[in-house]
Each structure stands twice: as C-alpha cells, then as structure tokens.
C-alpha cells in the first residue's frame, strides 16, 4: 500500500488526527506565551530571580517527554489521559525558548531609548508596554517560532497518553513495523513544523519591517486570532470529553497484539452488555497503562503476568506460573484492581528453529536441541543477547554451545534470517504471526528458564462491582485465546495489513 493510498483510505481519521495535532500545538504554545513572556520580563527585570527561572525551565527541558507524561498522569486537575496532560507537557517544553528570547530581547533594547522614555515621564509599566516589549517583539516571535516547532515534534509523543494527533500513526506504524504508516504520521508532522516555522518567520520579518517603519502589518493580530480559535476548539473538545458513568474505558499498550486484544475486550463488552465502550488503545507502554488504570482513566486492559511481576511490582524473577499469577493477583488486589483468569496464551521469549529441522530431527524441547546446536549458528536481538535473564542465563541453564558466537540481529529481520537459513536458531516472540508464516517451530522451555508471561485482563475492582455484567463479559474470555489464534491475528494485521478491529471481530464471531 502506498502512502497516498493509506491517506485516501484513512481520510476522515487523518483529518481529525491532523486537526488534533494542530490544536495541541496551538493551545500549548498560546498558554506558554501567556506564561513565558511575563516570566521573561521578570527574568530580565530581576536577574536574581531570572537565573533560577531559566534554570528551572532548562531542567524541565531535559526530562524525557514520556517520563514527564508518567509523572503527571496521577496528578489531580492536570493529570489523566488525554489532551489535557499532553498540553501541560507541551507547555513545559515551550516555556524555555520563550522565556529566554523575551529576556534577551528586553536586554537588547537600547539603553538610550529607555532613558529617553524615562525622561519623558513614562512609568516603568508604560515603558515596558510602549517601548521595551514592542522593540523586543522580533526576538520574542523568534522564541515562539522555536517553541512551536518543538511542540509539533513533542506532540507526536502525546499519542502515548491517548491525546491523539499524528503520533497515532507513528506509534501504530512502529508497532506494525510498517514504514508506510510511520510516514503517514511523520511526513505531515514534518510539513506542519516547516509550515509553522515558515509562517512565524514571515511574521518575525513583518514585525522587524514594521519596526524599521517601512510597512505596518496586522499579521500578529491574524495569528493571534487563529490561535485563539484553535484554543476554543480544543477547549470545546476537552469539555465534551467528560466522564460518563456507563462508559467503560478499555486501554491497550502500543503494539499490534495489544491493540487487537483491546478491540476484542471492547467488542465483547459491546456484544454482551448494554454498556458503551470508550477505546483508549495504543497507550505508550506498561508504565502509562498501569498509571492510567490506577487513576481510573481506563477501566481495564490486558497485562502479562511476568511483566506485572517484575516491571510493575518489582518482584525478583520467578519461573513458577501459578506462583507468579497468585502473587500478582494479590498485589493488584491491594491496589483496588482485579486480575481475571488468564486468556489462554503466553507471550514469552520463544526459541525457534525451522519446522523442517524440527520434524526431521524430531526436536520438541530445548533439551532435544542441545546436541544439534554445536553445528548451528544462532541469531538474537541485541537486548536478548545482553540481558542476564536472556542468552547468558539460557546458555548456562541448558549448556547450549553453538558453532560460532551468536549474531546480534534486528528483531524485524530475525525470522526471515532463520527461514532463509542464514542462522539456525533464534529467540523471537511467542505470539509473532511470522512463526506460522515461515513454518517455524517453537521449542518447549522444558527446564522452565523463562518467566511466565500469561496474558490476563486486569480491571478496576470498583468498576467490576458497579457492573456485574461487565465482569461476566470479561470473564467469558478467560482461556479462550490460544497462542495459535493470537499468532494468526497478529499475522493478519502485521503481514496482511488488515485492521485490528476487523480481525478482532472475526475472532469473536468464530469463537461464539
């Protein structure tokens, strides 16, 4: 599918994501201007305050955006999933350039002009408004230009907290390893950045021209009007997105399997109950989903037992599936969350060989493979190769030896490398659709080296209590999704380029 086909077939969605992006940038930049210019004036007027102000703005700039979303999510008023928290983060990033250029612009105003104004009887406020700010304006506009271009880029990350925008396509494309979808979001974002840059460069020049007196424009007023209109639109969007009691919010992380599972949850609830579902899929990872669940921004999503065990509850690695599950369930219960029974498949590390080899040599387990491995070459992802609970531990547990040291390979290439006989054994993903597509065999981890990663729904206990029908709908999925079914669905989306919602619908129909 070419880029243009993609845009054509997603026309309405594209338009709304683009608009969301513009709004995120417009509103955050406007608010940053309203806060940043007074702070810049303060910094210029009171150098003793100015230092710390610029230092703080600088420090805020260095916080990675995803981490900042994580910190802000649980806060009242500004936190929560959606545009609000994204706008707050964008404002924080936009402040520094605006404060800096305002202070620098004011400092560059000719002292003689300030003295002239004072001698004519202007008060400090009149001097600021009528002389200093107008003369600093080109510098301030340059700062706003930098801030809004930064905002266009940062706003793509906002998709991680469900704020929408062009980042949706970028995250979706990354999850699907589909560069067309990535470009469908990245190219318009770049064009938007260039357009804003060009527009504000023009405004900056117009302001400078006007200062040198050759022409008097009203460009600033037009920009301000456009920005205010954008602000009004976003405010409207925010207001209409309030909480409704009979709406269940379903979340998911930002990779294909999670999005399909999110759809399955949503469709199951819609089919079996009268509740309405708000899909907040494609959130930026485990951390964000967990925070969102605890703050009530989502009511349920699918987590993996091993991930919850180590990444959320920081327990030491454990390979006993039942033990991990019960410990995670107890920890969730303490937080007012309920872990339902597993869905039926595990998304763990998978040690894979070609199906032909497995059949010919009758290999089913890792122990079976060890004697043959001395003639084989292996390929692993960088992370698996390095992590102590990756290859080094596996080698020690099974006494694995290969013909040559394992090759480090990119995960997106590793399945094909195995199929094309460049390597003979790889570590992949147990639910990858490519396992079936390339006729690969997953070796059984018979010594239980890998921790269990059973997929299970985790939901807010309060929501389940309030809606018993919701509990039975979600529980109806327990044990119903096999690893083969999951692989097929992943493959249909990743390789077949089908919509996750359609694939999920077919699954529900087939299992009913």
> What residues make contact with another protein under the rule CB under 8 A?
112-113, 115-123, 126, 130-131, 134-135, 210-214
Q: Which two tokens stand for residue 248?
A: 């269940």
Distances (CA, A) of 225 to 219, 231, 237, 331: 10, 10, 19, 52
* Closest to another protein by CB, 44 or 489: 44
**Buried b or exposed e, range 304-339, using 16+ CB within 10 angstroms:** bbbbbbbebbebeeeeebeebbebbbebbeeeebbb
* Closest to another protein by CB, 1 or 113: 113
Closest separation in Å from C-beta 126 to another protein: 7
Contact predicate 144/162, CB 8 Å = no
**Buried b or exposed e, range 95-105, using 16+ CB within 10 angstroms:** bbbbbbbbbbb
* Closest to another protein by CB, 134 or 285: 134
- Residues in the chain, overall count: 512
Contact predicate 500/256, CB 8 Å = yes
* Closest to another protein by CB, 125 or 404: 125
Residue 43 parent element (H or E): helix 11-45
Closest separation in Å from C-beta 101 to another protein: 17
Closest separation in Å from C-beta 203 to another protein: 15
CA 195-197-200 angle, to 5 degrees, is: 105
Closest separation in Å from C-beta 73 to another protein: 45
CA–CA separation, 405 vs 226, rounded Å? 60
Closest separation in Å from C-beta 118 to another protein: 6
- Whose CA is closest to 53, among 40, 65, 64, 62? 40
Give me the DSSP letters along 140-203.
Answer: HHHHHHHHHHHHHHHGGGGGGGT--STHHHHHHHHHHT-HHHHHHHHHHHHHHHHHHHHHHHHH
Closest separation in Å from C-beta 218 to another protein: 15
* Closest to another protein by CB, 212 or 360: 212
Residue that is written with structure tokens 């009171």 in the block: 46
Closest separation in Å from C-beta 102 to another protein: 17
Beta bridge partners of 426: 352, 379
* Closest to another protein by CB, 134 or 344: 134
* Closest to another protein by CB, 214 or 375: 214
Closest separation in Å from C-beta 121 to another protein: 3
Contact predicate 107/40, CB 8 Å = no
Starting at the earlier edge strand, list the strands of the sheet with 407-408. 407-408, 378-380, 425-429, 349-354, 440-442
CA–CA separation, 296 vs 312, rounded Å? 17
CA–CA separation, 227 vs 241, rounded Å? 21
**Buried b or exposed e, range 458-491, using 16+ CB within 10 angstroms:** bbbeebbeebeebbebbeebeeebebebbbbbbb
CA–CA separation, 434 vs 101, rounded Å? 52
Closest separation in Å from C-beta 211 to another protein: 5
Closest separation in Å from C-beta 189 to another protein: 36
* Closest to another protein by CB, 215 or 512: 215
CB atoms within 10 A of CB 382: 12
Contact predicate 45/109, CB 8 Å = no
* Closest to another protein by CB, 107 or 187: 107
* Closest to another protein by CB, 118 or 286: 118
Q: Which two tokens stand for residue 164?
A: 């929408």
Closest separation in Å from C-beta 41 to another protein: 17
Closest separation in Å from C-beta 134 to another protein: 5
Q: Which two tokens stand for residue 45?
A: 């007027």
* Closest to another protein by CB, 86 or 109: 109
Closest separation in Å from C-beta 128 to another protein: 13
* Closest to another protein by CB, 133 or 161: 133
* Closest to another protein by CB, 12 or 112: 112
């Amino acid at each position: 599918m070419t880029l243009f086909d993609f845009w054509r077939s997603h026309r309405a969605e594209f338009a709304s994501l683009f608009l969301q992006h513009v709004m995120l940038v417009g509103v955050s930049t406007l608010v940053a201007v309203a806060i940043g210019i007074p702070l810049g004036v303060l910094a210029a007027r009171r150098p003793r305050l100015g230092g710390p102000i610029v230092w703080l703005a600088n420090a805020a700039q260095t916080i990675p955006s995803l981490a900042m979303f994580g910190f802000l999510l649980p806060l009242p008023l500004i936190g929560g999933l959606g545009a609000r928290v994204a706008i707050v983060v964008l404002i924080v990033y936009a402040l520094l350039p605006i404060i800096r250029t305002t202070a620098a612009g004011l400092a560059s105003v000719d002292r003689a002009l300030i003295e002239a104004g004072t001698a004519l009887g202007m008060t400090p406020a009149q001097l600021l408004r009528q002389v200093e700010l107008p003369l600093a304006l080109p510098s301030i506009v340059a700062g706003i230009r930098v801030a809004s271009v930064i905002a266009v880029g940062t706003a793509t990350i906002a998709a991680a907290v469900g704020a929408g925008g062009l980042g949706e396509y970028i995250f979706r494309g990354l999850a699907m390893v589909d560069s067309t979808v990535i470009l469908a979001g990245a190219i318009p974002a770049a064009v938007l950045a260039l357009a804003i840059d060009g527009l504000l460069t023009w405004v900056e020049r117009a302001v400078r021209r006007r200062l040198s007196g050759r022409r008097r424009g009203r460009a600033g007023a037009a920009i301000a009007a456009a920005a205010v209109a954008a602000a009004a639109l976003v405010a409207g969007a925010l207001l209409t997105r309030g909480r409704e009691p009979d709406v269940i919010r379903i979340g998911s992380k930002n990779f294909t399997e999670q999005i399909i599972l999110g759809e399955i949850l949503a469709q199951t609830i819609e089919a079996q109950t009268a509740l309405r579902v708000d899909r907040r899929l494609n959130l930026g990872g485990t951390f964000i989903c967990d925070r969102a669940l605890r703050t009530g921004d989502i009511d349920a999503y699918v987590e993996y037992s091993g991930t919850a065990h180590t990444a959320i509850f920081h327990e030491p690695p454990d390979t006993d599936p039942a033990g991990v599950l019960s410990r995670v369930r107890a920890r969730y219960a303490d937080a007012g969350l309920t872990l339902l029974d597993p869905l039926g498949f595990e998304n763990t590390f998978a040690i894979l060989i070609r199906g032909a080899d497995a059949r010919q040599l009758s290999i089913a387990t890792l122990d079976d493979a060890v004697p043959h491995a001395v003639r084989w070459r292996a390929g692993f992802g960088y992370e698996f190769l390095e992590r102590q609970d990756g290859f080094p531990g596996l080698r020690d547990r099974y006494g694995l030896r290969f013909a040559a040291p394992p090759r480090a390979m990119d995960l997106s290439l590793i399945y094909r490398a195995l199929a094309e006989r460049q390597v003979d054994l790889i570590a992949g993903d147990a639910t990858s659709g490519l396992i079936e597509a390339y006729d690969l065999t997953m070796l059984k981890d018979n010594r239980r080296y890998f921790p269990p990663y059973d997929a299970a729904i985790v939901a807010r206990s309060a929501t389940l209590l309030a809606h018993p029908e919701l509990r039975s709908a979600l529980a109806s999925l327990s044990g119903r999704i096999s690893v083969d079914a999951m692989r097929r669905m992943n493959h249909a989306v990743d390789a077949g380029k089908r919509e996750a919602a359609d694939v999920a619908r077919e699954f529900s129909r087939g299992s009913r």
